[in-house]
Structure 1
Amino acid sequence: MRESIRALIQKIKAFLIHNFHQYNSKLPYIITVVVALIIVIGGINMFVELTDELHDELLPQYDQAITDYVIAFRTPALTQFFIFITHVGDLYGYLIVLAISSLLSFFIFKKWRGLLQTIFVLVLASLSNTILKRFIDRARPGIEHLVSVETLSYPSGHAMSAMAFYGFVIYLFFNFKINIYLKIGIAIFLVFIILAIGISRIYLGVHYPSDVAGGYIAGLIWVVFCILIFNLVEVFRKDQKT
């Protein structure tokens, strides 16, 4: 990713130097940020399109059909499993994961930047989720809730935070110098966690499927945006030293 951004910046530099007499060394970075914003805006457009469909007659039908299918599998054992999974997507679940990540960062990888970036992405997703919930103001499903909830429904905070947090962790692991099969194994496990957290919210009766889909899209937007910006900042920092 970082090398791709550096190559793009070099091409923009070459284009600007060749075509314009007055050249600002910071301009290629500004243009790259604009490109990143355009990519993110495309993702936001997908989120807005889904949000607009909340008032359509067809989406509630899909929500109901999927919800009925998922809750048809309710059993005491499966309920306990999904309650555990949904707690993995709660604040205390993230604190445990962050504590483990801190130990790994300190004793094995000797790097703190990735940990701080992950915290930033999680906080960003959580704050934006709170704003989106209040703005969209969608009530929770009117079926039995197997866990207590106090906030509004759309988008799912659990799905959004899981996608942002664990999605960014997947990105970090693929940048670590570890065995490729271990990377793939960790990625598959974390993807399972992301999907399981989303399904748990439907199974427990506290979210519509479209809430979960909206949360995934919004979380992915933050992951992509933060990866682009973090790498751009790192490229800029190194280029300024040379």
Structure 2
Amino acid sequence: VLQFQLDKAAGVVPAQLIASFTQGRRKAILRRQDVPAAFLAAFPNGAEVESDRYGYTAEFQLPTRYFTLIGKYYRGADLRAYFGGQLFSTYNDISGLTGVTTATSIDGSSTVAFGLRNSQAVIADQNPVRGQGGFINLGIPLSRLFDADPKGRMAGFTAYLHYGYDEAFARDVRQILGATLNPVGAPANQFGANRGKSDVAFASLQYKLNSIVTFAFEQSYFRTRAANNAGFLPLFRGIPSRETHNNRSEFATIFSF
């Protein structure tokens, strides 16, 4: 974290530049009784397959008396645990294998693929689905900009503009076949296997009535796009579509204690 005073006006908190990194290993474990019968002789004690998980971020917070701007960018692989990368985790690389069959890992979170390469029984490599994303948010103190009386009823207006996106690399998503489970635990070629990128944009107007109660109105636009242009596509309004979207209007009462 790098911290410095961007705006020296009284009451303005310091600006920050932040970077972070994470790295780990993921292991899918199969018990002996879960190994497909055709491969039991090659794996009499069960089987294991590992994959990498990593991610890094860069972000900033820039508060001033006129606005506050915050943003973040992240990139990594197997970001499902961080609710990123479109919630995909891994895929089985079955290229070059014949006689492929699958089995579910001991915790039910992964499907492991077995096959033959040059007549030798092997476990398919599990590779992480790579992804990236980020957001930017602009907060505007409307009451201050319009010189409202700090002690008056018009002192509590604030506006926010926001845009964020998250994506899984299309070339990795296209590798996900029925041998891999999707985020809801179903074979991925039956539900959402081609989900590639999502983004959201919203504008919010808030009015702080007092130290406890804040009223807010938000107008938002959500969009999800597929990783492929043809083939299996999800239904939107009853039609196979590469892109789905929805508009949402929300009114909220926020209580702060």
Scaled by the length of structure 1, the TM-score of the pair is: 0.23
Structure possessing the higher radius of gyration over alpha carbons: 2
Quick check: which one's helix share is greater? 1
